[in-house]
Structure 1
């Protein structure tokens, strides 16, 4: 069974590996290190036997949170890793008295959109050309 814990420096290589295989324009290792320093309570990983299965990271400002990235290893998808990470993050955000969570996602990313909608996120807008040729859709969740 996987456990969800806070990101630690030893997870960086595996997080970057997942990020690089999941996104065409991945975040850098330096950026993840900065996020870990600035938002240690909202950078979570799902891990089983020292293998990082997925991660989620959000920035917080006052009573709002912005989910910056969530990704799961290819061979671990469709096994509730992503929903477990999202649920754990939302619980931590509630404890921090965050009132609203928002994110943007590629319009064509049906799997991620389904994950967010099942978690109660509502579609709130669109940004044309956010991902180059692709549009982003915006989601928000009131806590």
Structure 2
């Protein structure tokens, strides 16, 4: 059984990472040996986006796929309301909330990609400084 919200979130996060990295679906497909059509289908739900493919796509964006599990108490959902019982205004409000949620989620994904890039830059700078320091130490020892 698939957890549909998780699958949708994976697609959204993968698309957000590509966007934040400035990589088009066509370019990602080319680099991974996939057709643009198949890449598009995976990112829109017309084809399965496996964890393996998501990980490969995210790697192009210098992003890692992290899977977490939790145990213990989970939030108890409120009572379900039949869509037929909602007014037009209530449905509009729900769609507005969903759009805001998707915007915030996209912004958070972009921020996560930016932070991951920054960490990589800092790690590279630290490695350069360490190498320079080791070179200076070696030169001084001679």
- The answer to which structure, 1 or 2, has the higher relative contact order (CA under 8 A, 6+ apart) is 2
Find the structure with the greater CA-based Rg: 2
Instruction: Give the structure with the higher percent strand.
Output: 1
TM-score normalised by the shorter chain: which range applies?
A: under 0.3
Instruction: Give the structure with the higher percent helix.
Output: 2
TM-score when scaled to structure 2? 0.25
